[in-house]
A and B are shown apart, each in its own frame.
Chain A
C-alpha cells in the first residue's frame, strides 16, 4: 500500500523545479544584516530580557509561541531544576533535571483529565517532585502525603505580556502524595484525590 501511495503522491505533486540557490544566498545576506544590526543595538537588553523573573523563584522565557517556566525545588538538601514548556501545538512538556528527556502531554485538556491542576510528578530519592501548569483560578496548591504531611506553595503567573493563561507551581514532597488541594483567591478549596489516578 505505501509503495503504491508513494507512486501516486509523486504523480500528484508538482514536479517543476524552480529552485534558485543564488536567490537564497542573496536573501541570506539581507537576513544577516537584519540580524546583525538589532543584535548589536539590543544585545544588552536581550541578556536582561531573555529570562524574566516572575516571583516565587520562577523564571520565564519565550521562544516563538512557546513559554518556558523554570524554577528549582529542594528535598533533603538536594535541589532539582524543573521546567514546564507550553505552546507547541497545545502540548505541555515537563522536564526535571536528572530525569531522562521530557514528559509531554497531548493538548492541555488531556493533561487535566490525567492529573488535577495540570500536575505531573516524578519519583526522586526520598519522595516525589510535583509540578504543574494550572488554570487561572488556583492561587495556592497544597499536597498531602500518605503519611499526613502537607506541603504548600503559591502558584505563579507569568510576567505581564507573556502569552500563557497558566499559573505555575512546583513542590518536592517526602514520601508519596495522596491528594492535591488548590485554593482560589478567596480561599475556596478544591481537593483531588490521587489514589484513583495511580
Chain B
C-alpha cells in the first residue's frame, strides 16, 4: 500500500469532518477529499517531492473547498451545520464561539488528527503559533463549557 493510500485510509473520516464546515456539507466535503487525494495521486512529480503528505493533501483539499464556495484563502465560512449538535450541544456551542481561524486549528487537531507540526505546515504557521492558538482555544472552550455546566 502506498503512503498516500495509507494516509487516505487512516485519515479519510477526519479530513472529511474537518472540511465539512468549510465545504458546506458532508457530501461536499466527501467530494473535496476524493478530489484532493486524486489530484495528489495524479501529480506524481509533486507527490515524490512531499516530505509530509497530510499537510500537502490538506492544502489541496482546503483550496478546493474554498473554491467550491467561491471564498478566498483569507475567508473561513461560519457555517457549522455539519456538527452533530444533539450529541454534545454544549461543545457545539463552544466551538461556534471560537473565531474562525482558531476553530480551523481545533478542527485540524481534533477532527483530522493532525500533529502540531502538521497543522503548522498545513496552515503555513510556526508550531509555536499552533500551540498558542490551541491553548487559547482550549481556554475559551473550557470557559464556555464551564459556564454551561454551572
With a cutoff of 8 Å between Cβ atoms, the chain A residues found around residue B83 in the complex are: 12
B residues in contact with A2, CB < 8 Å: 138
Assess A12 versus B124: contact at CB under 8 Å? Given A24-B41, A89-B74: no
Q: Using Cβ atoms and an 8 Å threshold, which residues of chain B touch A32?
A: 42
Cross-chain contact A1 with B38 (CB below 8 angstroms) = no
Contact mask for chain B residues 89-122; partner A; CB cutoff 8 A; 1 contact, 0 none: 0011001000000000000001100000000000
Partner of B73, one of A15, A30, A34, A89: A89
**Which chain B residues (1-57) contact chain A, with CB distance < 8 Å?**
5, 8-9, 12-14, 16-17, 20, 26, 30, 34-35, 37-39, 41-43
State whether the Cβ of A11 lies closer than 8 Å to any Cβ in chain B: yes
A19 touches B13 (CB 8 A): yes
A residues within 8 A CB of B63? 64
Question: Which residues on the B side are within 8 Å of A16 (C-beta)?
Answer: 13
Interface majority SS on A: helix, strand, loop or mixed? helix
A6 at the interface (CB under 8 A from B): yes
Q: Which residue from B74, B110, B124 sits with its C-beta under 8 Å from A9? A: B110
Residue contact B8 to A19, C-beta cutoff 8 Å: yes
Given A9-B91, A15-B13, residue A31 in contact with residue B84 (CB < 8 A):
no
Number of interface residues of B (CB under 8 A): 39
Nearest Cβ in chain A — how far from B35, in angstroms?
6
**Is A31's CB under 8 angstroms from B38's CB?**
yes
Q: Is the CB of A31 within 8 A of B41?
A: yes
B88 contact set on A, CB distance < 8 A: 8, 11-12
Question: Does any Cβ of B come within 8 Å of A162's Cβ?
Answer: no
Residues B35 and A27 in contact, CB atoms below 8 Å apart: yes
Residue of A nearest to B17 (CB): A13
- 13 A/B residue pairs, CB under 8 Å, sorted by A: A1-B142, A5-B141, A10-B110, A12-B88, A12-B92, A13-B111, A14-B17, A21-B9, A27-B34, A28-B37, A28-B42, A89-B124, A104-B124
Binding site for A on B (CB under 8 A): 5, 8-9, 12-14, 16-17, 20, 26, 30, 34-35, 37-39, 41-43, 63, 72-74, 82-85, 87-88, 91-92, 95, 110-111, 123-124, 138, 141-142
Q: Which residues of A contact B (CB under 8 A)?
A: 1-2, 5-6, 8-21, 23-32, 34-35, 64-65, 87-91, 104
